[in-house]
């Protein structure tokens, strides 16, 4: 099980990267850090700089079918930067086109809104994305974790870091085919 973690060069909510990453490792998978630039990415603890993490691959070096699933960590700046990068948006959309599971937490659905893959899907997020998701054709719910199988793939979403335990369980189940 090879899982891509798509992040921008900075603005990732660290715990939304590190805890799902560990969950993939614990499930016997191989997480791969994919970004829009080479080098390293800067994570944050809310608004404060945290650790940096080395990039394994750029979005131009891989395709969705190189992986078994995708994790989109949140942070406000991270998905905001990703949705402005055509290659990052195309990479995320590729998982839907290939029918591969995607897990997104907090503000991460912004990237999926830009990829135009939420029509007819039910998901959750940080509450401020409700209108954006609705305008993109999705149905927003206020739940700890939402697993939507009513589309080309399984979509797992959660609202915030407090939801990470449920998010990680649902995401790894989707990635291993147990959902």
Annotated active-site positions, please? 106-107
- Residue position matching structure tokens 């798509």: 6
Q: What are phi and psi of 174, to 5 degrees?
A: -65, -40
- Cα 57 vs. chain centroid, distance in angstroms? 16
Whether the CB-CB separation of 144 and 126 falls below 8 Å is answered with no
List strand residue ranges (DSSP E) for the chain, in order.
Answer: 2-7, 10-13, 30-35, 40-45, 48-54, 57-58, 69-72, 102-105, 122-123, 139-140, 145-148, 155-158
Q: What are phi and psi of 123, to 5 degrees?
A: -155, 170
């Amino acid at each position: 099980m090879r899982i891509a973690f798509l992040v921008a060069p900075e603005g990732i909510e660290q715990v939304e990267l590190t805890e799902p990453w560990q969950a993939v490792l614990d499930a016997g998978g191989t997480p791969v850090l994919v970004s829009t630039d080479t080098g390293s990415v800067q994570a944050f603890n809310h608004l404060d700089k945290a650790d940096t993490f080395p990039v394994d691959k750029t979005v131009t070096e891989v395709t969705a079918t190189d992986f078994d699933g995708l994790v989109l960590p949140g942070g406000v700046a991270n998905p905001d930067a990703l949705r402005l990068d055509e290659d990052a948006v195309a990479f995320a959309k590729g998982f839907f086109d290939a029918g591969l599971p995607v897990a997104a937490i907090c503000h991460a659905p912004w990237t999926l809104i830009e990829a135009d893959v939420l029509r007819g899907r039910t998901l959750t997020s940080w509450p401020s994305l409700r209108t954006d998701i609705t305008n993109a054709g999705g149905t927003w719910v206020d739940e700890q974790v939402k697993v939507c199988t009513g589309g080309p793939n399984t979509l797992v979403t959660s609202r915030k870091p407090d939801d990470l335990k449920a998010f990680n369980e649902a995401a790894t189940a989707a990635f291993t085919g147990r959902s």
